[in-house]
């Protein structure tokens, strides 16, 4: 074998040995990690008081109650905001038109009410006069008119009989006499029952119109209030202090009712939530003290307080296995307040809670 071939063979042998060593090392490492995993799993099984959970924060979605175009976007993702800050604006043209329409309807209803109230007052006056009779001055005026008409009639009657006055002229004098007599007798005797009934019906009709317009005004006032409330929602404001986590629209974009425009994380304190199996629930007490660790802050131990244990089981269950026999095991959500957290927490971060530490989860 020539020297060059011998050299290539030696290099191939060395490369094969290196590959075998690397594969062997990978196998050893995998076995080591699997052993650690099983050890950790066995430790968790042996210590049911240690439960893994996650960090929760208050997330708020900001939606639109209006249809329209985005007029302005005043924030970007990551901005810190205060309660009441205007984050976005929606063009209010459509809503302003609805406000004017509602105000116009209210004005018409108010004008109609004024007319109906005037008609009601007039009908009441007619009824009062019919029920109470004529005033003394009205009676005196009717009597004077009757006396004058009667005197004229008595003077004209002989002249008519003598042919000195035409039939047309006498008929006019007689008609005036009879009309004045009827008015005077009515003033003396009061209105007829049918006249009083008609006056009452007229008053009832006027009162009904007033009630109808009053109801219309209330409805119109509600429409104006509703339209103005929608106008307020043309500005999307921060409901609390916090940080903007998402902005989903841009200026000029057409949006629809209920669309998610932005999201923010409230500045209120974060908490930890874990699901505790019912077999370990006896260790969890309301107000109990616990210890917490976070993979993100290795080596640090924090303390917390159990603030709530859900009264209803979680939908997630642990199916029957050799570990728990033939029974399914439910889990319950437990909320934990962080008492001495000094580090920054983000939603979804892993937390490990030890219910056996401190006072063992017993109530204070």
Give the whole-angstrom CA distance, residue 278 versus residue 78: 40
Cα 287 from chain centre: 34
- pLDDT of 364: 41
Pairing verdict, β 350-354 and 302-318: unpaired
- pLDDT of 37: 44
Identify any residues that bridge with 235 across adjacent strands, giving them in sequence order.
Answer: 89
For residue 124, what is the DSSP state?
H
**Which tokens hold the place of 59?**
């997330």
Per-residue pLDDT of the chain (364 residues; tens, 9 = 90+): 555 655 556 666 667 676 776 767 777 666 665 555 454 444 444 567 899 999 999 899 999 888 889 999 999 999 999 999 999 999 887 778 888 888 898 998 898 888 888 888 887 877 777 776 667 787 788 889 889 888 888 988 888 888 888 888 788 888 888 877 877 777 776 666 777 788 788 888 888 988 998 999 999 999 888 888 878 888 899 999 999 999 999 999 998 888 899 999 888 889 999 999 888 888 898 899 999 999 999 999 999 999 999 888 865 555 544 455 556 778 899 999 999 988 888 889 999 999 987 654 444 4
- pLDDT of 172: 81
Question: Cβ–Cβ contacts within 10 Å for residue 146, how many?
Answer: 20
**Which tokens hold the place of 329?**
């095991």
Contact (CB, 8 A) for 142 and 184: yes
Give the whole-angstrom CA distance, residue 170 versus residue 98: 69
Phi, psi of 89 (to 5 degrees): -130, 140
- pLDDT of 32: 61
């Amino acid at each position: 074998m020539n020297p060059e071939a011998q050299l290539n063979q030696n290099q191939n042998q060395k490369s094969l040995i290196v590959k075998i060593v690397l594969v062997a090392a990978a196998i050893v490492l995998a076995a080591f990690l699997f052993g650690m995993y099983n050890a950790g799993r066995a430790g968790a099984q042996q210590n049911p008081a240690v439960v893994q959970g996650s960090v929760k924060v208050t997330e708020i979605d900001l939606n639109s109650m209006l249809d329209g175009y985005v007029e302005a976007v005043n924030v970007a993702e990551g901005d810190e905001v205060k309660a009441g800050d205007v984050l976005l604006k929606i063009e209010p043209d459509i809503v302003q038109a609805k406000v004017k329409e509602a105000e116009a309807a209210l004005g018409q209803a108010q004008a109609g009410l004024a007319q109906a109230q005037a008609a009601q007052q007039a009908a009441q006056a007619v009824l009062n006069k019919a029920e109470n009779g004529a005033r003394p001055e009205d009676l005196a005026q009717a009597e004077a008119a009757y006396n004058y008409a009667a005197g004229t009639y008595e003077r004209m009657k002989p002249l008519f009989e003598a042919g000195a006055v035409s039939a047309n002229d006498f008929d006019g004098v007689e008609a005036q006499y009879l009309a004045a007599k009827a008015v005077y007798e009515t003033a003396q005797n009061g209105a007829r029952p049918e006249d009083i009934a008609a006056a009452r019906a007229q008053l009832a009709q006027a009162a009904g119109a007033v009630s109808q317009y009053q109801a219309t005004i209330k409805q119109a006032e509600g429409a104006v209030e509703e339209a103005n409330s929608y106008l307020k929602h043309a500005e999307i404001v921060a409901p609390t202090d916090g940080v903007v986590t998402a902005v989903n629209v841009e200026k000029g974009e057409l949006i629809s009712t209920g669309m998610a425009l932005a999201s923010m994380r409230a500045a209120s304190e974060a908490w930890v939530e874990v699901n505790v199996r019912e077999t370990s629930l006896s260790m969890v007490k309301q107000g109990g003290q616990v210890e917490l660790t976070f993979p993100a802050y290795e080596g640090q131990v924090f303390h917390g307080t159990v603030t709530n244990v859900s009264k209803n089981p979680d939908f997630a269950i642990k199916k029957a296995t050799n570990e728990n026999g033939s029974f399914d095991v439910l889990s319950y959500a437990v909320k934990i307040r962080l008492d001495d957290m000094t580090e920054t927490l983000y939603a979804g971060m892993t937390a490990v809670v030890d219910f056996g530490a401190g006072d063992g989860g017993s109530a204070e």
